[in-house]
């Protein structure tokens, strides 16, 4: 009965995660679209891009404020603050509806996205706590992203009246405020011990990856928009549906082998996007760029959302990093937006700098292609660092978890009783001291030497195996005794497992004693 209730609670929380992230995506993207439409009624297109860059940059502050509030709020209830924040968001949307002043519209937009960033940081933090150790994290993130896009598509395309659109956003603000209070989780993320190697390097590499990829996908977006404005293609609204489908597909592919190949898949998608930009730069098919851009963008969103959730488990402040992917993406989008507002003037300046040129001397696509190649090289370096660091940490954690599970059912080489498990007979027994203590007696040394020779163990592997046989201390303590890192120790144990065809530290020790007793 308890197991069934626990299962029901887990699936309930999974549904809440998908729903919460979906509503957040809808509110964030839908309000951004709504804001742009209202701003376009007042100012030229260049000013709209500039204003959009402002609100996206402001939202990053919200993502940073929530972890600070969580850290110093203590155990005091946060529901009152949550309700007040929701009311401010609703007021901001309503004030944007009929506003006829550019400055006022921008102010209310900044207010909304500041609090939207705070809500986004909170829901990502809660989702990360619930999805920890889940094999379907990326699929849930992708499904939530697709659902959010579909809601936006309905609100912005099937509903034409501005006030009805605003009313839909207001309703979903209320739903979201209620949802984020329904997550029933134990807040353990910030107090968990973490001794994985270089968490700062892992996070820094991921930040660089996402920021640089944002530049690439924003450049591809600008190229598509450029040709759409020239009338070469008609983008329309249907690609949003393709974007939603790509989010689900990304979740399925990323989750293969417990997200072991997520970085590799995203890197391949990035390569495809870069090749697409270069193809357009030399006069290739524009339609190919369109078909690549939207699926690639869906993959990218699922990648940075899942990636930062996953990496947050190895940091001291998980609440900061769980939703930081969206924040970094907004920073990158804001930077590209600011640059794009200045680019028309820069392109209009001719070679002698008098500003009277026609802008036809240098192709913007060619310029973008050169920049993209430089960014791609930087992405390759950052992706390599991120993948190598995070994969080692995850493998080590899973190895230790498997080892702990084995330890629940079998104990070997007890230092106090001398009891060892004989995997041949399936029984525990007491062996003579010269067998238990590997460092004493000629016979014992001969056993170990013959074992090392038969399985071709290196000197370092012999040193590690001897310490594992003699010590019942933790992996971290053993690594300290051997003056190596915890990761290096895991690599040696993994090599020993491979040579002896075992699967864990416990299994390795069992195998050694069984080999010696045969």
Domains of the chain: 13-185+195-349+362-403 (1.20.1250.20), 419-517 (1.10.10.10)
User: Please, are residues 290 and 224 in contact by the beta-carbon 8 Å criterion?
Assistant: yes
- The rounded distance, in Å, linking the Cα atoms of 165 and 29 is 13
State the CB neighbour count (10 A cutoff) for residue 261.
17
pLDDT in the model for residue 243: 84
pLDDT in the model for residue 482: 81
> To 10 degrees, the CA torsion angle through 488, 394, 473, 188?
140
pTM: 0.71
State the CB neighbour count (10 A cutoff) for residue 443.
11
Tell which residue, 447, 464, 449, has the closest CA to residue 514: 447
Q: Is the dihedral of CA 508, 511, 513, 516 positive or negative?
A: negative
pLDDT in the model for residue 227: 62
- The rounded distance, in Å, linking the Cα atoms of 278 and 122 is 39
Residue 265 burial (10 A CB sphere; 0-12, 13-18, 19+): middle
How would you write the pLDDT of the chain (518 residues) with one tens digit per residue?
444 445 566 778 888 899 999 999 999 989 998 898 888 888 887 788 888 889 999 999 999 999 888 877 654 446 778 888 899 999 999 999 877 788 999 999 999 999 999 999 999 998 998 888 788 999 999 999 999 999 988 887 777 788 888 899 999 999 998 888 776 554 444 334 444 457 778 888 899 999 999 988 877 776 666 565 555 555 556 667 788 899 999 999 999 988 888 999 999 998 888 887 777 767 666 666 677 777 888 999 999 999 999 888 888 888 899 999 999 999 988 888 777 766 654 444 443 444 434 444 445 556 666 777 888 889 899 888 887 766 555 545 544 444 444 443 344 333 333 444 444 334 334 343 334 444 444 444 577 888 888 888 888 888 888 888 887 777 777 877 787 877 778 888 888 888 888 877 778 888 888 887 76
pLDDT in the model for residue 401: 46
**Which residue in the block uniquely carries the two structure tokens 């090749």?**
275
pLDDT in the model for residue 436: 40
User: Please, are residues 134 and 28 in contact by the beta-carbon 8 Å criterion?
Assistant: no
- The rounded distance, in Å, linking the Cα atoms of 474 and 472 is 7
Helix (H) or strand (E) holding 428: strand 427-430
Give CA separation, 473 vs 125, 401, 490, 513, in Å: 34, 16, 15, 19
Q: How far apart are the first and last CA of the chain?
A: 46
- The rounded distance, in Å, linking the Cα atoms of 270 and 299 is 10
DSSP H stretches of helix in 231-355: 239-254, 262-281, 286-312, 318-321, 324-348
């Amino acid at each position: 009965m308890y197991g069934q209730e626990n299962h029901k609670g887990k699936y309930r929380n999974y549904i809440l995660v998908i729903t919460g992230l979906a509503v957040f995506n809808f509110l964030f993207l839908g309000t951004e679209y709504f804001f742009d439409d209202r701003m376009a009624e007042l100012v030229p297109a260049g000013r709209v891009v500039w204003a959009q860059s402002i609100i996206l940059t402001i939202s990053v502050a919200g993502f940073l404020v929530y972890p600070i509030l969580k850290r110093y709020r203590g155990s005091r209830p946060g529901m009152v603050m949550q309700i007040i924040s929701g009311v401010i968001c609703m007021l901001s949307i309503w004030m944007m509806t009929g506003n006829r002043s550019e400055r006022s519209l921008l102010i209310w937009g900044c207010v909304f996205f500041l609090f939207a960033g705070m809500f986004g940081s909170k829901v990502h933090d809660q989702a990360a706590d619930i999805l920890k150790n889940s094999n379907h994290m990326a699929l849930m993130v992708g499904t939530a992203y697709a659902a959010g896009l579909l809601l936006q598509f309905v609100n912005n395309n099937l509903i034409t009246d501005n006030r009805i659109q605003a009313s839909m956003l207001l309703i979903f603000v209320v739903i979201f405020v209620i949802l984020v209070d329904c997550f029933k989780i134990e807040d353990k993320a910030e107090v968990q011990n973490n001794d994985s190697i270089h968490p700062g390097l892992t996070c820094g590499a991921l930040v660089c990856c996402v920021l640089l990829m944002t530049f690439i996908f924003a450049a591809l977006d600008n190229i598509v928009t450029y040709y759409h404005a020239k009338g070469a293609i008609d983008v329309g609204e249907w690609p949003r549906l393709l974007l939603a489908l790509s989010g689900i597909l990304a979740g399925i592919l990323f989750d293969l082998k417990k997200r072991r190949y997520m970085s590799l898949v995203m890197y391949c998608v990035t390569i495809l996007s870069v090749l697409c930009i270069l193809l357009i730069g030399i006069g290739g098919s524009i339609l190919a760029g369109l078909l690549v851009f939207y699926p690639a963008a869906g993959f990218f969103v699922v990648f940075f959302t899942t990636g930062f959730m996953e990496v947050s488990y190895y940091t001291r402040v998980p609440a900061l990093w769980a939703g930081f992917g969206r924040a970094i993406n907004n920073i990158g989008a804001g930077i590209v937006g600011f640059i794009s507002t200045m680019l028309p003037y820069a392109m209009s300046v001719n070679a002698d700098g008098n500003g009277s040129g026609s802008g036809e001397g240098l192709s913007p696509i060619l310029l973008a292609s050169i920049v993209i190649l430089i960014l791609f090289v930087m992405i390759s370096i950052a992706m390599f660092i991120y993948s190598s660091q995070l994969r080692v940490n995850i493998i080590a954690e899973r190895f230790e978890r498997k080892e702990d599970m084995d330890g629940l059912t079998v104990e070997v080489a007890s230092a106090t009783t001398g009891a060892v498990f004989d995997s041949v007979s399936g029984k525990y027994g007491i062996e003579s001291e010269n067998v238990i203590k590997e460092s004493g007696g000629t016979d014992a040394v001969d056993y170990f030497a013959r074992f090392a020779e038969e399985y071709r163990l290196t000197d370092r592997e012999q040193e590690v195996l001897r310490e594992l046989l003699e010590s019942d201390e933790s992996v971290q303590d053993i690594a300290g005794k051997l003056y190596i890192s915890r990761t290096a120790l895991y690599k040696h144990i993994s090599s020993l497992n491979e040579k002896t065809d075992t699967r864990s530290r416990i299994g390795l020790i069992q195998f050694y004693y069984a080999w010696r007793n045969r």
